[in-house]
A and B are shown apart, each in its own frame.
Chain A
Amino acid sequence: MTRLIVNRIFATVLVLLGVSFVVFAALHFSPGDVARTILGLGATEERVQALRQELGLDRPLFIQFWDWLVALLRGDLGRSISLSVPVSDVISDKIWASLLLMGASFALTVSFGLLFAALSGGHHRSLLDRLITLLMLFLASLPPFSLGIILLIVFGLQLRIFPISGVGAMADDATVYVVAKHLFLPAVTTAVSSLAVVARVTRSAFIDEMGEPYVQAARARGHSEGRIITVETMRNVLPSFVTIAGLQIGFLFSSALFSEIIFNWPGIGLQLYQGILQRDFPVVQGCVLAIAIVFVIGNLLADILAIVLDPRRRG
């Protein structure tokens, strides 16, 4: 098992290296000239060339990549073009805001995903099962950008239960309650479609398990249905549940991007969006890299958890 985990970690490092090269190269080859962006409309061609030299943009690509990577390992992501401050200063706060949003929506996804799966999978073909299946189908096909706005109009504008945008007061009345209030709608918006996917896949796992002989044996021993679902089958459902939940991390990221824009949640997604609008390469690089790292590490953790939970995968 240890070996398997070490292998996964090693592979993750390689993936991260690959990702960082892709991030570096993608922006390098995209249209536009960083030097001209910095110098502005009226700059002469000579000045642009001089700055290109100063920034080292005229050197071979791999040398530029190597320097960039070495700086990166020191935590130096370069300077933002539009803001003239270090990229790490710009995005460090944003990473926490995004992790908070992701954490909350991930918690919603796994808890409610599992709950709905157990309720419907455990009572296969009941009315409850059908209702939940229908609901999940509906939720899975709801794009976050429309759901977010609907939630805002209903709960923010009409019922005035939740605030419209931002993270909540920090300086004046910094409470978990205020942050949670700001967090609720974006987290729900981000979670909904992933939650539905988790519920549907895990439901199938429950249905499979419920047909196994050991479940009949448990029934014969007089165990209650509730116990059979929450205890007997749960153990065998967990590995596939963890795998599908781990896969949702990626989907949650893309949903979070929309939620952050709609709810003006100052996370990495909103910063990425503003970075793209302002053509701020270093910020875009930093954001994409941060997202990639969290994504890859999230998947690694899910993999390791699945290995730990499932004896069959320990090889």
Chain B
Amino acid sequence: MINFAKKRLCKAKNKFLNGFLAIALAAVTLTSPASAAKDTLTIGIEADLARLDPHISTTWNTFKALLHMYEGFVAEDLLAVGVKTPPIVPALAESWEISADKKTYTFKLREGVSFHDGEPWNAKAAKFNLDRMTNPDFEFHQPGSVGLLSWVWGDLESYEIVNDYTFEIKLKQPNAEFLRRLSAGGSGTPRMISPAAVRKYGNDGINTNPVGTGPFKFGERKVGVETVLIKNNNYWDEKRVPQFQKLILRGIPEVTTRELGLLTGELDMISTPSPDSLEYLEAQGITLVKGPVSTIYPIWLNFREGPLKDVRVRRAMAMAIDREGMTKYLRRGTATPAYGILNYGGPGWDPEYRDFAYDPEGAKKLLAEAGYPNGFETRLDWTMGGGGDVNTRADAEWLQRDLGRIGIRAKIELFDNGTYWDMLAKGTREGTCCMQVSWGETGFFWLDLILPTTAQPPNGFNSGYYENPKMNKLLASARATSSEAEMVKILHEIRDIVTEDVAFIPLYTPIQVYAMRPEVKGFVLAPQHWADYTSVYKD
């Protein structure tokens, strides 16, 4: 009897297990192994992609896929070597003319280009996309893109089809950065989707059936596992014809797993290995490609927090922080100190500029002068970071120590990245002196979100309530300039005022790292949050 029961139990268990395997084999969509095949490139990135509709795309990681599938009028040339900022090059527009008043852009569209589904690219397709992004009455309007793309279309007055291959865009006021914004990505990107695909799959269907004109077309996606892109054999641009058939992007949040996958050959390339592993990876024959990225880690200072109302206290804090030591000993060469609010790779960045010198003794004196000889207590609200951020907690601890040396006793509280951005959107909370996220772009439009008084919460990310009305005017006039030299001049003025007011303490520019197997060649690291993989090949 007992034996029987046991047997039955065992049998049931076996059945149970077999059932599991059978179900799993039938239902689970599984990842293909990173083949050692020459025609496949498998890249391990920091997180799975978000939605694939470019007009409402969100994360920097997602743009690593989007920039290979979709194109806009113009693009940043990510294959340009040795540049600080990627140059703007023609893409779906062959050329363009800008009117004398800098308000009308006439794009001559490239002929003979078709979307991956065979739909031709022309002025009608351009209008369809503009309608989708900006016209609330349009049948296929994408409501999410209004907010996400306001930094691109904020100055838009009107647009129209001139003829089959000519398209005109009118702005309300000149915008010195307009082409830069048209070429940018990340949070919403004005890239062109096949109108036929939108009609066929519907507005939401684009997320699962993305159809563009880029060097790769969509293959398949297993959410949480991988996204496969297939070479577009009809691609127009000889310079960007892929050297391999299949591009596989695998989101692997755990950095150790990414590194081990690279070492065993499951992955051909990874982004953002841990700074502590770099020496080991190199010793194993892994190629490291490093370079600065158009990003800055600035500290938001809370102007509503008692002591920080005094500029002397804010300056003392800035003088107390040892940025050079931080990049050298903590970041171990994966960052360079940042000076001034203008980020590397953005307009007006000046390698010679210096803001605050490291001077803890002077800082102490200044703090005493302001009436805080014994310092004060405060708090650092910090994020664990997302995407390419590495060990931001250690940054907070470094700052805690540096501030501690001049008597400012700061507690650290850590939050996940999503919550943290919400906190930033709500404004720095009482009792907190400092917050920080990585930001910065190849344009300066992000400054519009953090500096003007109009960007104070809940309308932006001037989260420390920095109050200088001059900012609003200066930023608007920088945008409205008609030449780059003029724009840069105003941006320098803005930078100097931010330094003078000690509204932010810039910390560092990260050096991004890609690690790849020795047989992977031809990779060009752009000073951007993403890279063009079309030039990569395997030896």
Give the size category of B's interface with A.
35 or more
The count of residues in chain A whose C-beta lies closer than 8 Å to any C-beta of chain B is: 69
* A41-B187, A100-B20 as given contacts; A169 in contact with B33, CB under 8 Å: yes
In the complex, the chain A residue whose C-beta lies closest to that of B223 is: A90
B-chain residues with CB within 8 Å of residue A273 when the two chains form the complex = 253
Nearest 3 CB-CB pairings of A with B: A43-B147, A279-B418, A170-B30
- Tell me which residues across on chain A come within 8 A of B179, comparing CB atoms: none
**Interface SS of chain A:** helix
**Interface stretch of the complex, out of A1-9, A60-68, A152-160:** A152-160
Known contacts A38-B144, A274-B47, then 6 further A-B pairs from the complex at CB < 8 Å, ordered by chain A residue? A85-B223, A104-B17, A157-B264, A167-B30, A176-B21, A264-B254
Within 10-34 of B, Cβ neighbours of A (below 8 Å) are at 13, 16-17, 20-21, 23-25, 27-33
Asked if residues B418 and A41 are in contact (CB atoms below 8 Å), the reply is no
B147 pairs with A266, CB closer than 8 A:
no
* B150 interfacial contact with A, CB 8 Å: yes
Contact assessment for A166 and B21 in the assembled complex, using a CB-CB cutoff below 8 Å: no
**Stretch of B68-76, B237-245, B255-263, B312-320 contacting A (4+ beta carbons < 8 Å):** B255-263
B423 within 8 A of A: yes
B148 within 8 A of partner (CB): yes
B25 in contact with A172 (CB, 8 Å): no
Say yes or no for A42: interface residue by CB 8 A criterion.
yes
CB closest residue in chain B, given A90: B223
Please, what's the 1-or-0 string for A259-274, where 1 marks a CB less than 8 Å from any CB in chain B? Answer: 0011110100011011
Whether A39 pairs with B148 at a CB distance below 8 angstroms is yes
A25 within 8 A of B: no
> Quick check: is B252 within 8 A (CB to CB) of the other chain?
yes
The reply to whether B419 and A169 contact each other, CB–CB distance below 8 Å, is no
Contact assessment for B51 and A277 in the assembled complex, using a CB-CB cutoff below 8 Å:
no
A96 in the interface (beta carbon within 8 A): yes
Interface-facing stretch out of B52-60, B399-407, B489-497: B52-60
Interchain CB contact (< 8 A) of B16 among A103, A167, A170: A103
Query: Is B224 interfacial (CB-CB < 8 Å)?
Result: yes
> Restricting to B159-211, which residues have a CB under 8 Å from any CB of A?
187-188, 204, 207-208
Q: Which residues of B contact A (CB under 8 A)?
A: 2-3, 6, 13, 16-17, 20-21, 23-25, 27-33, 47-48, 50-51, 53, 56, 58-59, 143-144, 146-151, 154, 187-188, 204, 207-208, 222-225, 250-254, 256-257, 260-261, 263-264, 266, 386, 416-419, 421-423, 425-426, 449, 458-461
- Is the CB of A304 closer than 8 A to any CB of chain B? no
Closest to B48 in A: A274
In whole angstroms, what is the CA distance A152 to B419 when docked? 32
Please determine whether A264 and B150 come into contact, CB atoms closer than 8 angstroms. no
Task: Check A264–B256 contact: CB distance below 8 A.
Answer: no
User: Which of B24, B151, B223 sits near A83, CB closer than 8 Å?
Assistant: B223
A164 and B264 within 8 A (CB): yes
Q: A166 with B225: in contact, given A83-B207, A93-B27 (CB under 8 Å)?
A: yes
Whether A82 contacts B32 by the Cβ 8 Å rule is no
A30 to B149, CA, bound (A): 27
A83 and B252 contact, CB distance less than 8 A: no
Residues of A contacting B53 with CB < 8 Å? 84
Q: Is the CB of B21 within 8 A of A85?
A: no
- Whether A174 pairs with B25 at a CB distance below 8 angstroms is yes
- Is the Cβ of B207 less than 8 Å from the Cβ of A164? no
- CB pair B458 A45 closer than 8 Å: yes
Given that A31-B423, A39-B148, A163-B266 are contacting pairs, would A45 and B459 also be in contact in the complex, using a CB cutoff of 8 Å? yes
Cβ distance B510 to chain A, nearest Cβ, rounded Å: 19
Judged by a CB distance under 8 angstroms, whether A235 is at the interface is: yes
Contacts A/B (CB < 8 Å), 22 sampled: A39-B146, A40-B144, A41-B187, A41-B449, A41-B460, A42-B150, A42-B449, A97-B28, A100-B21, A107-B13, A149-B256, A152-B256, A152-B257, A160-B264, A163-B264, A163-B266, A169-B31, A170-B25, A179-B24, A234-B2, A274-B224, A278-B58
Residues B425 and A36 in contact, CB atoms below 8 Å apart: yes
Determine if B147 and A41 form an interchain contact, defined as CB atoms under 8 angstroms apart.
Answer: yes
Check if A113 is an interface residue, CB within 8 A of chain B: no
Please pick, from B2, B187, B253, B419, the residue contacting A235 in the complex, using a CB distance under 8 A.
B2
Answer yes or no: A33 CB below 8 A from chain B CBs.
yes
Query: With A164-B266, A170-B31, A277-B418 as given contacts, are A103 and B17 in contact (CB-CB < 8 Å)?
Result: yes
Q: Determine which residue in B2, B30, B187 has the highest number of CB atoms from chain A within 10 A of its CB, and name it.
A: B30
Nearest Cβ in chain B — how far from A213, in angstroms?
A: 19
Within 8 A of B (CB), among A86-110: 89-90, 92-94, 96-97, 99-100, 103-104, 107, 110
Q: What residues on B are CB-neighbors of A44 within 8 Å?
A: 147, 459
Contact call B148/A40, Cβ cutoff below 8 A:
yes
CA distance A281 to B395 in the complex (A): 29
A47 to B145, CA, bound (A): 12
Give the nearest-CB partner of A232 in chain B.
Answer: B2
CA distance A264 to B238 in the complex (A): 36
Other-chain residue from A110, A261, A271, A277 in contact with B416 (beta carbon distance below 8 A): A277
Contact partners of B423 in chain A: CB under 8 A? 31
A231 interfacial by beta-carbon distance below 8 Å: yes
| A4, B432: Cα distance in complex, Å | 55
- Return the contact of B47 from the options A83, A97, A235, A278 (Cβ within 8 A): A278
Shortest A240–chain B CB gap in Å is 16
Contact of A262 among B33, B146, B254, B386 (CB under 8 A): B254
B426: chain A residues within 8 A (beta carbon): 31
Contacts of B458 in A (CB 8 A): 45
Neighbouring A residues of B222 by C-beta, 8 Å: 93, 266
Distance of A172 Cα from B31 Cα, bound (Å) = 10
In the complex the two chains form, is B29's CB within 8 Å of A40's CB? no
Residue of B nearest to A174 (CB): B25
| CA distance in complex: A273, B224 (Å) | 10
Residues of B within 8 A of A164 (CB): 257, 260-261, 264, 266
